[in-house]
Homo-oligomer: A and B are copies of this chain.
């Protein structure tokens, strides 16, 4: 039993307006679609008055049904609590505004079945395209999208088996930039700290670029440390092991002599976890004891005084929509990658 919502009053329809203006629906439709030149000034005035009187607002759903397009695009975000996502979103919104789209924002909250359900939902609402910041577990959940499905463009990470546009950070360049910075600042033991999501392409690319960059500096050693942020126990365990190593690496030399260790966080979430821990262990001025650099430049980074690589988040979002727009219009068929450069923001934590 499906009764219309009783909360809101019934809205005026195009027929109501036509009757009120003493004309046919066609003229109203023409008025709405800006075909003003075809209407006599008098009729036009009557229509305007009727619309005003009835507080008429055309029903987008009905228009969409008829036209076959509704100007809706979906924006599927893996994790809104990540400042990166919110920043990208701002670019997306700006571009949508400029191109006349309405973005439907869907938040998967890091849950794979949420991601699938939202994709399904967006499909049934017949959005014209989707921008996907995927969890990236597998292309299977992304089946409704891409070739043969809804036009899509990926943000930050690609998904295996899904060939379509992708826009994100130049991971290779950014990681190289950061690594070189650390080496130049005299650190000779670099620990690249990542989350255990090997299926996320950006995560993999950054790690690979890190090790590749190090090949240039034989005197510098580097290793990867995996941090499981989801599991508190495991996290604590890894962190204390890391503490021990850090102490051992630093101890024999004191201050400016010997091995100088730097932590390189693969993203802002990792950096926050590290910062929290270090802050707790060494006190508020931990940055002076332990060097930390991070990809992503969240608000607290300045507060904590850590060096970062800032991503061109706004541009990433904006470009993603532009790409999608072209796909929707069928102007684009082959898959493109768009990688944008990051910017190094140097702060106290790596100034030695």
Contacts and interface: CB of A to CB of B under 8 A. Distances in A.
Interface stretch (A133-141, A147-155, A224-232, A249-257): A147-155
Given A89-B107, A151-B8, A287-B284, A57 B2 contact: no
Interface string A101-122: 0101101010000000000110
A230 to B, nearest CB: 16
Given A107-B89, A284-B305, A4 B67 contact: yes
Interface stretch (A38-46, A172-180, A205-213, A326-334): A326-334
A7 interface: yes
A93 B107 contact: yes
A270 to B, nearest CB: 13
Contacts of A68: 2-5
A36 to B, nearest CB: 16
A279 interface: yes
Interface string A271-298: 0100110010001111110000000000
A37 interface: no
Q: How many copies does the complex hold?
A: 2
A283 B304 CA distance: 10
Interface stretch (A123-131, A193-201, A237-245): A123-131
Contact of A303 (B81, B105, B303): B303
B69 A328 contact: no
A221 interface: no
Contacts of A120: 57
A8 B109 contact: no
A125 B303 contact: no
A89 B80 contact: yes
A64 interface: yes
Interface string A302-333: 11110000000000000000000001111000
Of the four ranges (under 10, 10 to 19, 20 to 34, 35 or more), the interface on chain A belongs to 35 or more
Contacts of A7: 128-129, 151, 327-330
Nearest to A275: B303
Contacts of A67: 2, 4
A59 B126 contact: yes
Q: Which of A62, A121, A299, A305 counts the most chain B CB atoms within 10 A?
A: A299
B90 A86 contact: no
A219 interface: no
A60 interface: yes
A68 B13 CA distance: 12
A286 B285 CA distance: 10
B93 A86 contact: no
Given A5-B330, A67-B4, A126 B303 contact: no
A61 interface: yes
Given A2-B69, A57-B123, A327-B7, A284 B288 contact: yes
Contacts of A283: 285
Contacts of A83: 81
A218 interface: no
13 contacts: A4-B68, A5-B68, A5-B329, A5-B330, A8-B129, A8-B328, A60-B121, A61-B126, A80-B90, A272-B303, A284-B284, A284-B285, A284-B286
Q: Which 6 A-B pairs have the closest CB atoms?
A: A6-B330, A4-B68, A300-B300, A105-B105, A7-B151, A284-B285
